[in-house]
């Protein structure tokens, strides 16, 4: 069902009016996200009533239905769907028809209703008049995002049922919560903005009182989930229950969710996972009930550290406001040159640690003071702290503060609208207090804290009001230590961390700050080594740190050069850098970092035994001697020269190590073309026999789509061909050793080469069925052995409905009641 809705999603996106799409937040959910969301429901059984408000074409309902038909003990299934877009109706009907068919053939009673109505207006009316006949057992949604005016119809309708909120998405969630049955479950993808700030307090209060949060998934990188959405999204799974349990927090850099056969879960590349008490998500003493989503132990340390600061700006008698000058409204009174009655106008371009004004460029430096502008100008007295409202995606810090001491010789000053200004009644603050605030806002800890609930690149005054602040005396102590405004972030972090230690007795500088510094060091090294952009990320940085055994408190000249496998690398990241990756992300480490490091001459593969088979559990990696010596010189005067020499030698290094690896490689040729090079070993020899002898005898018209661990016929090359056959090939680690496709028979041959483990037994048969279940081609399951002696070890494990082929007797096939019986005598 999901495959149908994904095709329709792409069609409908092209039909929607872009302006209307933006106004109503019509951002339809991609298939992988739908599948992940549907997989989060803990139980689906008995009589199931599903609500899908803002359903679009029904992608989420289809994914839920795909999950439901895999469950046992489902008696009936009813779907209630809402949308206000008439264009989607025929596509929704198509989705519901598919759901009815799939449930019907499984004996599940099905009922559905599509409401071309406004969900909030319709359901709140039913709720207020007590006309809700039966609550829902499950809710799945991707609600629209749109601010609600205080007098809007939606706001008034929600108030009538006791809901106070400021956005359509939170209104959808709150209303659906009230429509849920006791112990009912809800999964939604929504902006992260509800986690903090006074505007969403009533919504947080309702959500936390009426449901228990079971899981939250966050996306590390902005704009990766929906192409057109700026907000940072989270996926939240709640249960209508007061029973508190552990909260599972997962994260991923992107939304490339796929089914992992080993864990039987939907996962994403580089997914992290941790379980925490609810008190770690919402501090019981926090009256605002902010929701903190710490995806790693390191992030949790940040939350815990700043929880010692409990003051608000109101407590400190400090205000923060958006700059009052909206330049396009007073364009006639702006100037690049001084004129009579002109005063300074500050833009983001004027900001650094201090204000640099005037500054040549496109932005005017002056605003003329007159009756049109006077109300927008402030007193040029005291010390202001200024924060840019917008940060670029590439900018290292989200919050960047500037100290301004009113040194310009004018009575008034203008702050442009893209600035946030800390002040007291439109005048500057006490100098020492302002310097303390400047230091605190520029600290790495506060920036890390803000990123955990800052939903986008924009830093609003509202966000800054929501932050915790040190008390007045602490801010002044920080200010007294900031003698020089050009302090480095490291120096500022030291000052702030000393204050935290004085209050809590906890030293954090040796943990969070040094971890962050070492990761940034490693990322910088990878950039200077000119690795591809896809490898410039935290996973690759941590891999480099692990393989050099570089501890957060260590120095680069003390690094080591051990041999490590993928699992020990991931464990090292968890223990020393507090980053716990999900076990099923091993392939991302291997194929998206380690392979590229080997190709770049940074690592050598299996240095202790180059002949080790590629699927050996003892496979390992080690820094090349040249890379090791280079890394030892990082942050020294020798680095630049050593880096230059390494890059000059890199092509010959890569060639040399490649030649060493290739000396014993098993080369596979077909039709006078090399289609693969495999690591030496019996397993690789058997794969070669499959390509040459099995195909000749049993699949002569087939083409080789995939050979495990080869560049020529690897997963990337196979994806497009398999997609044409209805198969989404995402996870290399779960693919069979060889895939052949016979277009004449329309058969896919899924072949496992077995020398020491891994026949197509019952478990592997089920795995392959799930992986290739959507294939439009017939499936032939084959276990290949080098000889009869090896086969006899596994004979009892081989699954029915499969075939067995033996390399030393290549013209015969042993048939285990498979439905693709191949008669070798009459084969044509």
Poorest-confidence range of 54-58, 223-227, 257-261, 766-770? 223-227
| φ/ψ (deg, to 5) at 262 | -60, -50
Neighbours of 826 (CB within 10 A): 6
Buried b (16+ CB within 10 A) or exposed e, 621-635: bbbbebbbebbbbbe
Paired tokens of 740? 């052949």
Residue with tokens 């959405």: 229
In this prediction, residue 800 has a pLDDT band, given cuts at 50, 70 and 90, of: confident
Handedness of CA 525, 529, 531, 533 (dihedral sign): positive
Residue with tokens 């969301």: 37
**674 has a pLDDT exceeding 80:** no
Paired tokens of 595? 């392979």
Neighbours of 564 (CB within 10 A): 20
Looking at residues 93-122, what average pLDDT do you find?
94
Nearest 5 degrees, angle CA 455-CA 458-CA 461?
100
Poorest-confidence range of 241-250, 382-391, 810-819? 810-819
C-alpha to C-alpha distance for 200 and 591, rounded to whole angstroms: 42
**232 has a pLDDT exceeding 90:** no
C-alpha to C-alpha distance for 305 and 229, rounded to whole angstroms: 32
Poorest-confidence range of 25-39, 361-375, 654-668, 741-755? 654-668
Q: What is the largest CA-CA distance in the chain?
A: 102
In this prediction, residue 431 has a pLDDT band, given cuts at 50, 70 and 90, of: very high
Question: What percent of the chain is predicted at pLDDT more than 90?
Answer: 51
Alpha-helical (H) ranges within 168-262 are 168-179, 201-210
Q: What is the DSSP letter of 594?
A: I
Nearest 5 degrees, angle CA 234-CA 235-CA 240?
125
C-alpha to C-alpha distance for 178 and 240, rounded to whole angstroms: 9
The 3 state secondary structure assigned to 533-579 is: HHHCCHHHHHHHHHHCCCCCCCCHHHCCCCCECHHHHHHHHHHHHCC
Burial of residue 599 (CB within 10 Å: 0-12, 13-18, 19+) is middle
In this prediction, residue 666 has a pLDDT band, given cuts at 50, 70 and 90, of: low
Pairing verdict, β 212-219 and 247-252: parallel
Paired tokens of 460? 């609003």
Question: What percent of the chain is predicted at pLDDT more than 70?
Answer: 86
**663 has a pLDDT exceeding 80:** no
Poorest-confidence range of 67-71, 603-607, 615-619? 615-619
Task: List CB contacts of 2: < 8 A, sequence separation 6 or more.
Answer: 31, 34, 35, 59, 62, 63, 66
In this prediction, residue 561 has a pLDDT band, given cuts at 50, 70 and 90, of: very high
Q: What is the DSSP letter of 511?
A: I
Poorest-confidence range of 360-369, 404-413, 725-734? 725-734
Q: Mind listing the pLDDT tens digit for each residue in 764-773?
A: 888 888 888 8
- pLDDT attached to residue 138: 98
**122 has a pLDDT exceeding 50:** yes
**443 has a pLDDT exceeding 60:** yes
Q: Report yes or no: 779 and 772 within 8 Å, Cβ to Cβ.
A: yes
Strand-pair partners of 310? none
- CA-based nearest residue to 694, from 765, 606, 753: 753
Rg (CA), the chain: 31
Neighbours of 131 (CB within 10 A): 9
Cis peptide before 358 (omega within 30 of 0): yes
What are the structural domains of the chain? 2-295 (3.40.50.150), 314-507 (3.90.220.20), 512-661 (1.10.10.1820), 667-826 (3.40.1350.80)
Paired tokens of 161? 């049922």
Buried b (16+ CB within 10 A) or exposed e, 505-518: eeebbebbbbbbbb
- pLDDT attached to residue 673: 61
CA distances from 710 to 585, 609, 674 (A): 20, 19, 11
Q: Report yes or no: 466 and 198 within 8 Å, Cβ to Cβ.
A: yes
Paired tokens of 590? 């291997």
C-alpha to C-alpha distance for 638 and 641, rounded to whole angstroms: 6
**100 has a pLDDT exceeding 80:** yes
Q: Report yes or no: 44 and 124 within 8 Å, Cβ to Cβ.
A: no
Q: Mind listing the pLDDT tens digit for each residue in 390-419?
A: 865 556 778 989 999 999 999 999 999 999
- CA-based nearest residue to 188, from 356, 14, 352, 54: 54
Alpha-helical (H) ranges within 327-484 are 431-441, 444-453, 461-466, 472-481
Paired tokens of 326? 């909206």
In this prediction, residue 571 has a pLDDT band, given cuts at 50, 70 and 90, of: very high
CA distances from 652 to 61, 338, 606, 683 (A): 55, 61, 20, 30
Per DSSP, which regions of 106-152 are E strands?
109-115, 136-141
**708 has a pLDDT exceeding 60:** yes
- pLDDT attached to residue 448: 83
Q: Report yes or no: 168 and 191 within 8 Å, Cβ to Cβ.
A: no
Q: Report yes or no: 52 and 82 within 8 Å, Cβ to Cβ.
A: yes
Residue with tokens 């896809």: 534
Q: What is the DSSP letter of 798?
A: B
- How far does Cα 248 stand from its chain's mean position? 15
Helical pair 566-577 and 514-528, crossing angle rounded to 10 deg: 140
- CA-based nearest residue to 699, from 707, 688, 689, 691: 691
Alpha-helical (H) ranges within 105-243 are 119-128, 153-160, 168-179, 201-210
- CA-based nearest residue to 251, from 267, 272, 236, 268: 272
What length is written for the chain? 828
- pLDDT attached to residue 512: 73
Poorest-confidence range of 25-34, 290-299, 319-328, 631-640? 25-34
- pLDDT attached to residue 711: 42
Q: What is the DSSP letter of 72?
A: S
In this prediction, residue 675 has a pLDDT band, given cuts at 50, 70 and 90, of: low
466: left (phi over 0), alpha (psi -120 to 50) or beta: alpha
C-alpha to C-alpha distance for 476 and 481, rounded to whole angstroms: 9
- pLDDT attached to residue 658: 59
**712 has a pLDDT exceeding 80:** no
- pLDDT attached to residue 466: 82
113: left (phi over 0), alpha (psi -120 to 50) or beta: beta
C-alpha to C-alpha distance for 99 and 78, rounded to whole angstroms: 10
Looking at residues 659-678, what average pLDDT do you find?
58
**53 has a pLDDT exceeding 90:** yes
Between residues 223 and 493, which one has the greater pLDDT?
493
Per DSSP, which regions of 203-347 are E strands?
212-219, 233-239, 247-252, 258-260, 265-267, 272-276, 319-322, 334-335, 342-346
**824 has a pLDDT exceeding 60:** no
In this prediction, residue 376 has a pLDDT band, given cuts at 50, 70 and 90, of: very high
Task: List CB contacts of 25: < 8 A, sequence separation 6 or more.
Answer: 143, 144, 145, 146, 168, 169
Q: Report yes or no: 736 and 747 within 8 Å, Cβ to Cβ.
A: no
- pLDDT attached to residue 504: 64
| φ/ψ (deg, to 5) at 177 | -60, -40
- The pLDDT mean for the chain works out to 86
Q: Report yes or no: 623 and 529 within 8 Å, Cβ to Cβ.
A: no
3-state secondary structure of 371: coil
Q: Report yes or no: 612 and 619 within 8 Å, Cβ to Cβ.
A: yes
In this prediction, residue 47 has a pLDDT band, given cuts at 50, 70 and 90, of: very high
- pLDDT attached to residue 256: 84
3-state secondary structure of 500: helix
- pLDDT attached to residue 677: 63
The 3 state secondary structure assigned to 690-757 is: HHHHHHHHHCCCCEEEEECCCCCCCHHHHHHHHHHCCCCCCCHHHCCCEEEEECCCCEEEEEEECCCC
- pLDDT attached to residue 198: 79
C-alpha to C-alpha distance for 270 and 570, rounded to whole angstroms: 11
Task: List CB contacts of 182: < 8 A, sequence separation 6 or more.
Answer: 240, 241
In this prediction, residue 450 has a pLDDT band, given cuts at 50, 70 and 90, of: confident
Task: List CB contacts of 97: < 8 A, sequence separation 6 or more.
Answer: none
Looking at residues 370-376, what average pLDDT do you find?
94
Alpha-helical (H) ranges within 238-356 are 278-281, 297-306, 313-316
Paired tokens of 50? 């599903």
């Amino acid at each position: 069902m999901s495959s149908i809705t994904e095709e329709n999603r792409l069609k409908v996106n092209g039909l929607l009016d872009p302006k209307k799409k933006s106004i109503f937040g019509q951002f339809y959910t991609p298939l992988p996200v739908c599948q992940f969301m549907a997989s989060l429901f803990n139980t689906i059984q008995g009589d199931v009533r599903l609500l899908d408000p803002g359903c679009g074409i029904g992608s989420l309902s289809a994914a839920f239905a795909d999950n439901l038909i895999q469950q046992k003990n489902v008696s009936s299934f009813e779907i209630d769907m809402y949308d206000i877009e008439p264009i989607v109706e025929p596509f929704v009907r198509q989705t519901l028809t598919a759901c009815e068919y799939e449930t019907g053939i499984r004996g599940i009673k099905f009922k559905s209703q599509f409401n071309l109505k406004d969900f909030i207006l319709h359901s709140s009316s039913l709720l207020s008049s007590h006309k809700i006949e039966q609550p829902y057992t499950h809710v799945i949604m991707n609600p629209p995002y749109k601010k609600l005016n205080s007098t809007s119809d939606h706001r008034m309708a929600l108030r009538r049922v006791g809901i106070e909120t400021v956005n359509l998405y939170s209104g959808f969630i709150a209303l659906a919560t009230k429509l849920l049955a006791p112990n009912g479950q809800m999964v939604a993808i929504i902006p992260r903005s509800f986690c903090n700030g006074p505007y969403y307090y009533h919504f947080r209060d309702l959500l936390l009182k009426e449901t228990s949060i079971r899981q939250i998934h966050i996306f590390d990188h902005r704009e990766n989930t929906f192409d057109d959405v700026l907000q940072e999204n989270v996926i939240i799974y709640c249960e209508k229950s007061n029973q508190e349990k552990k909260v599972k927090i997962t994260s991923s850099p992107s939304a490339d969710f796929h089914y992992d056969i080993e864990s039987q879960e939907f996962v994403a590349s580089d997914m992290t996972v941790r379980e925490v008490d609810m008190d770690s998500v919402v501090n019981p003493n926090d009256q605002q009930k902010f929701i903190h989503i710490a995806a790693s132990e390191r992030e949790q340390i940040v939350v815990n550290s700043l929880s010692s600061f409990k003051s608000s700006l109101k407590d400190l008698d400090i205000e923060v406001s958006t700059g009052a000058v909206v330049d396009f409204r007073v364009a006639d009174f702006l100037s690049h040159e001084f004129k009579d009655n002109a005063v300074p106008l500050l833009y983001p371009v004027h900001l650094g640690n201090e204000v640099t004004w005037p500054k040549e460029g496109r932005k005017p430096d002056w605003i003329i003071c007159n009756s049109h502008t006077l109300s927008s100008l402030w007193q040029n007295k005291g010390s202001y702290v200024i924060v840019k409202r917008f940060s670029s995606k590439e900018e290292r810090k989200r919050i960047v503060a500037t100290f301004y001491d009113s040194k310009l010789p004018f009575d008034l000053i203008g702050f442009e609208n893209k600035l946030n200004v800390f002040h007291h009644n439109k005048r500057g603050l006490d100098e020492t207090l302002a310097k303390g605030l400047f230091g605190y806002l520029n600290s790495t800890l506060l920036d890390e804290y803000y990123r955990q609930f800052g939903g986008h690149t924009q830093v609003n005054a509202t966000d800054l009001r929501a932050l915790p602040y040190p008390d007045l005396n602490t801010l002044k102590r920080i200010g007294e230590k900031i003698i020089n405004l050009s302090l480095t972030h490291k120096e500022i972090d030291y000052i702030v961390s000393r204050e935290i230690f004085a209050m809590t007795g906890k030293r954090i500088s040796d943990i969070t700050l040094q971890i962050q510094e070492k990761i940034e060091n490693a990322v910088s090294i990878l950039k200077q080594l000119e690795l591809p952009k896809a490898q410039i990320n935290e996973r690759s940085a941590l891999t480099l740190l692990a393989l050099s055994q570089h501890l957060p408190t260590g120095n680069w000249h003390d690094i080591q050069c051990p041999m490590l496998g993928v699992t020990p690398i991931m464990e090292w990241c968890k223990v020393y850098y507090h980053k716990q990756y999900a076990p099923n992300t091993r392939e991302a480490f291997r194929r998206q970092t380690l392979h590229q490091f080997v190709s770049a001459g940074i690592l050598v593969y299996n240095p202790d035994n180059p002949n080790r088979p590629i699927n050996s559990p003892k496979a390992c990696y080690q820094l090349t001697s040249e890379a090791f010596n280079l890394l030892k010189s990082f942050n020294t005067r020798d680095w630049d020269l050593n880096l230059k020499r390494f890059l000059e030698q890199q092509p010959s290094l890569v060639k040399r190590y490649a030649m060493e690896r290739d000396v014993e490689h098993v080369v596979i040729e077909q039709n006078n073309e090399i289609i693969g090079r495999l690591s030496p070993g019996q397993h690789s020899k058997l794969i070669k026999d499959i390509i040459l002898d099995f195909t000749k005898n049993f699949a002569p018209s087939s083409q080789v789509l995939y050979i495990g661990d080869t560049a020529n016929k690897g997963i990337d090359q196979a994806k497009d061909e398999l997609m044409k056959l209805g198969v989404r090939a995402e996870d290399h680690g779960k693919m069979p050793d060889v895939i052949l496709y016979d277009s004449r028979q329309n058969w896919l041959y899924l072949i496992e080469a077995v020398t020491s483990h891994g026949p197509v037994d019952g478990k592997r048969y089920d795995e392959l069925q799930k992986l290739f279940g959507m294939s439009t081609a017939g499936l032939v399951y084959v276990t290949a052995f080098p000889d009869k002696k090896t086969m006899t070890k596994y004979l009892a494990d081989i699954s029915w409905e499969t075939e067995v082929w033996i390399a030393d007797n290549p013209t015969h096939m042993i048939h285990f009641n498979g439905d693709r019986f191949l008669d070798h005598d009459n084969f044509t």
